[in-house]
Amino acid sequence: MGRTNSSQQRLLTAAGDLLWEKSYHSVTIDEVCAHAGVMKGSLYHFFDSKSVLALAALQHLWETVAIPAYDQHFSQSNPPLVRITSFLDWMQGLQLRKFRTVGRVLGWPFFTVGCELGGQEPRVSEQLCKIEGLNCSTSNPPSMMLSARRLLNQLSHERRRSRYEQQWRGFWHALAY
């Protein structure tokens, strides 16, 4: 029986999940194959190496998780504040679901894997920059996407801070009465 595209999709999903839940260096080829329910030969039929699999898995995550979320939450039909708050709510829900299944907050796989492999796997780092639409060259100024991501991170921090301040205000108000 020939190898099917289903095997390749299962490998991409398994590798993406494991890279997100663990780290590049702690994920083994055997673990990916077991998680996907395929033989090791199938993996090497589709992917030449672990780094090629990782790149393909991250591209798959980008296309199946990130792009649909960005398209939905950053739709021009939504006002700017709704765009940001709906995206942050979605991200919080996603992280909560991951926390319930894995037992810890995982971060965003494109950044965590990029940080892990920054100087060790230049090919992976370069591809992550392309996936995220970032200009990672040190000779060029940051791209608009990077500026938007920085703003999003700052707004996320401010939103968390605001929630804490409201909780503390309520706490101190309750103590006063």
pLDDT tens digits, the chain, 177 residues: what are they? 444 589 999 999 999 999 989 888 899 999 999 999 999 998 999 999 998 999 899 899 989 998 898 888 888 888 888 888 888 889 888 888 988 998 888 888 877 887 787 677 777 777 777 776 665 654 444 455 665 666 666 666 666 666 555 655 555 555 554
CA distance 155 to 157: 5
| pLDDT at site 139 | 44
Domain segments of the chain as ranges: 55-132
Does pTM top 0.85 for this prediction? Answer: no
